[in-house]
Structures are given as structure tokens and as C-alpha cells.
Chains A and B, each alone.
Chain A
Amino acid sequence: MISATNITMQYPIPKRYVEYLTQPFQTNYFKALKKINIEIQSGDRIAFLGVNGAGKTTFLKIIGGLLYPSSGSLCINGIDTQKQNLKARKRVGFVLNEERSFYWRLTGKKNLLFFGALDNIKGEELHKKVEELLRMVGLEDSKDKIFAGYSSGMKQRLAIARGLLSNPDILILDEPTRTLDPLSAEVIGTIISERIHNKKERTLLIATHSLSEAQILCNKICFMKKGQIIDYSSIKSIISEYGTLENYYKKMMNDEMVLDKVQQKIVLQ
């Protein structure tokens, strides 16, 4: 179970030149997350929706132990991600959307072997695991090709394989199909739904802008807006209330636009 309590995250914002002179000791901050409270049960498959800058990636990085919150705490099965960072990280596989996160001059297989060793897998077991994952994501024929020669879809498949190396209880995917064409995105979707989610107790957390991806892969939606969770519901209940995910999304977006207009009016007055 993942339990987040009062998570707040603020980033320092670069100052303008004049501010260095007028407020030399003051740091300006941008609040990326504001008092997030959520409990995620084991085996849940949650799609994090929301516009760019809503706080989805920041929150997922806090779950993955890549960031520490400015205040509040996050526990994975009772393990605090700040106090026992390494122990908590052992539960989590992170599929980064950054295709540069591999070594471009190494082959796909050598990349996976390296990251597998970092995940404490060794010897014959490491080689077997890497071969198995390469087969699972359909890269067994391209395993000895250097990473620089991979297409975007292949890079993303390799990233998924890396996320699964340690057979994690929680798999985090940050916009896994963001840069892909529809066909490649479909392949990734199939890999996730058919081959990754065969482990029923595995929790799947996906930040996405694709509603169809959310509907196919997940059973819950966590809608984020301006650093806050404004809705956390099962897809079933959303469909019964709104008919489609599109309607639900539009409603949430319209609410946001209305809110923005109200705020603009207040500022103008």
C-alpha cells in the first residue's frame, strides 16, 4: 500500500536580476504539490490525469524516491521513502519517459545488463532475466543493436523492460506513449496490459494524457490540478456518472477554466 500524508513540494524559482539586488536573501518558490493525501491499495491500476504542470510527474517521482517532499511523508508498505530511501526503492520500478536515460553507444542488451546489475541481479540470473525481458517487449532480434539506432518505440519498450528488471511491486510509467505514433503506442499498451499486468498484486501508476490508455490499462483515475488531487475515483463510477471518460475529462477541464476565469476577475477587480 502507498500512503501519502500532507505531501507538499516546492521548487526554488530563479530570480530576476533586480531581485538579486532588492531581495538578496529571499528565495522564491513554486508550489508543485499542495498537501496531497492519498492511499493506494496494492494491485490498483491508477491513471494520473491532468494538464501539463498539474503535478503528476512530481508526485510519481516522490513515490519512486527520486524526489523528497518539502513537507509531509510518503510510505510504501510502511517504509518511509525519505528515511529508508533505498529500501523503499526496491519496491518500485520507474519507467522514465526520457529516452536519453540510456547509454546511446551501448547495445540494448548491454544497457539492460548494466541496469540489472544496479538492481542487485547477478551472474546467470541476470543474463536470463535480461533475455526474458527483451523477449517480452519484443526486442530479442534487436538486442545487439546500439541504443542510438533504436526507434522511439523500441527505446520506450527497453525502458519498460528496465522498469521490470527487479520484478517490482509497484511500476510507475511516466507518459509511456508520449512521443510515439499510434501504432507504437498500441504495442506499448498491449505489452503493459497483457504482459505486465499478469502479476495481479502489482500496482500500476501511469501518468498519461491518453484517455483510451487510461481506460484500457487502469481501474482508477486520479485527477490532478494545480498541485492538488481533485478527484480520485474508480473508472466504473466515472463511467456510470459521466457516460465516458471524455465527458469526465471535459467536466474537470471546464471546472478548471471556470476557476481560472474567476481568479482572473478577482485579480482585475
Chain B
Amino acid sequence: MKLYKLSYFIKRDFAIFLSYKMALITSTLGTVFPLLTYFFISKLVPSQGQKGLSEIGGDYFSFVLIGTAFTTYFMMAIQEFSATTRRDQMAGCLEALLSSQTDTKTIIFMSAIFKFIHNGTVLIFMFIVATLFLGFDLSNINIPSAFLTFILSIFVFISLGIFSAGGTILFKRGEPFSIVFGTMSSLLGGAIFPVAILPDYLQTISYLVPIKYSLDALRLSILRGYPIEMLSNQLITLLCIALVLFPLSLIFFEWAVEKGKRLGTLMQY
């Protein structure tokens, strides 16, 4: 990877981000308010005997914080590649980018990097606020297993994101990947409530949703300090999904770009 190119993408997006002053303020406030909302909702949920919460210590606030914070991040990974493609299409810059001497995959990948850094910072900020002011307990965290889970999950969701970007090139609006996974993740992934409270048939379907494995492993590694070997089921599943989806997504994206160039629809939005 050419790091100097990456640095120019980050500089570009950082300069544009800073130029929107109001967005800076609203994005900071936007991270704090949901935290408080979940904190007060958690007061309604008894800490003992709740199905699906006991494995992680019974605290609903910890459950929902990890669920929503990481789901938001992973959904960004799915949506950002297609969002950046569409932004550049609409801004008129896509043609200029694609006429440069950098290949399309690199352009799409690097265009999304700043958002990953920015949202990663927001994620850390949320956990700092929750730990300092809302009683979130990070003392049991097993950093290597949490980190490995995060990296494997990122590969899975980046793959879905690349599929989504290819879909945006083909369908412009309403590409199916992020819609399907967005809906499935919130219902079946266990972001806001434990999958264990769902009917049996929905629980069976939830095994097809990658984010379920990510959130299970993240909760167990952060809240209970599970080491890597105790999370092998989830981690191997995530690895297998990533190994299959990542190359397929790149092939699909290349095919979508070629089709767009051949039909002359690449710049349309």
C-alpha cells in the first residue's frame, strides 16, 4: 500500500471535515446523548435473571453499550464504501478520481479510511465517557481477544461494504446489501436485546448473521475477559466468513466497475 497516497486521502477528508464547523459539534453531542439514553433505559432492566444477560454479568447497560457502539461502527464499515462512491458521483469528482493513475479499488478503499479513523475515535470516546461517568466496567477486558475479534469483524464488514459499493455502482440507489444486513443486524444480531429472548426459529436464523458472532465475542472478551481459545467458535466463524467474502467482494466490485464503464453508467447517480 502506498502510504503517501493514504496520507493525502486522510488530509483531504480531515480538511473537509474541519471546514464544516457545525458537524463537529453535532457529531460530538451525537455520541453522548445515546449513551445517556441507554444508561437510563438500563435502570428499567433488572440485573438478575434476565435471559441472555447472565452470561455477561447481567448488566444491561454494558450489554447495550457494546452492542450499539460496535454495531454502529460495523454498519459504517458496510455503508461507507458505497457512501463515498455515491458522494464522489454526486460531487462530480468520481470521474476525475478514476482518470487518475490509481486503481479503482485503492481509491474506494482509501476514500473510506478517514471515516474509519473518525468513527474509531468516537467509539473510544464513548467508552471513555461510559467508564468515567456511567459506571461501565473495563477492568476485566482481555485486550488480545477483543482486538482480534474487532479485526476479524472489520474484515467481514469491509467485505460487505465492498459488495455494497459495487451495488451502488450497479443500482445507484437502493442497493440491497446494506439494507439487508442493516435490518438483520438490528433484529437478529443482538445489538439492543439478547438473541436468547427471540423465538427459536429466529434464533436459528440469527446464526446466519455475522454481527452476532462479533458481538458475542466482544462482550465476552471485554466484560468477562475471555481469552482467545475460549472464543474459538466465534473467531473461527468470523475468519471463515472473511476468507470467503473478502476475495468475492473484490471480484464483484471489479466486475461492477467494468460493467459501469462498459454501459457508460459509472458516473450516473
Contacts and interface: CB of A to CB of B under 8 A. Distances in A.
**A, B: real partners:** yes
Interface of A: 9, 11-12, 32, 58, 64-70, 86, 89-90, 92, 94, 96, 98, 100-106, 110, 113-115, 117-120, 122-123, 162, 166
Contacts of B98: 66
Contact of A119 (B7, B9, B19, B101): B101
11 contacts: A11-B264, A65-B99, A67-B261, A68-B262, A70-B262, A100-B91, A103-B12, A117-B4, A118-B101, A123-B4, A166-B101
A102 B8 CA distance: 15
Given A9-B264, A118-B5, A118-B107, A89 B15 contact: no
A110 B96 CA distance: 15
Interface of B: 2, 4-5, 7-9, 11-12, 15-16, 19, 91-93, 95-103, 107, 258, 261-266
A175 to B, nearest CB: 14
Given A101-B92, A101-B95, A103-B16, A68 B100 contact: no
B99 A89 contact: yes
Nearest to B264: A11
A34 to B, nearest CB: 15
- 6 interchain residue pairs of minimum CB distance: A100-B92, A118-B100, A117-B8, A101-B96, A94-B99, A105-B19
B241 to A, nearest CB: 30
Most chain A beta carbons < 10 A, residue from B99, B107, B265: B99
A119 B9 CA distance: 13
Contacts of A104: 91
Contacts of A66: 95, 98-99, 261, 266
A149 to B, nearest CB: 13
Given A96-B96, A101-B93, 20 more contacts: A9-B264, A11-B263, A12-B263, A65-B99, A67-B262, A67-B266, A68-B258, A69-B262, A89-B100, A90-B101, A94-B96, A100-B92, A103-B16, A103-B91, A106-B15, A110-B15, A117-B4, A118-B8, A120-B2, A120-B101
B8 A114 contact: yes
Contacts of B5: 117-118
A265 to B, nearest CB: 32
Contacts of A11: 263-265
B101 A86 contact: yes
Contacts of B258: 68
Contact of B96 (A67, A92, A122, A162): A162
B102 A118 contact: yes
A96 B9 CA distance: 21
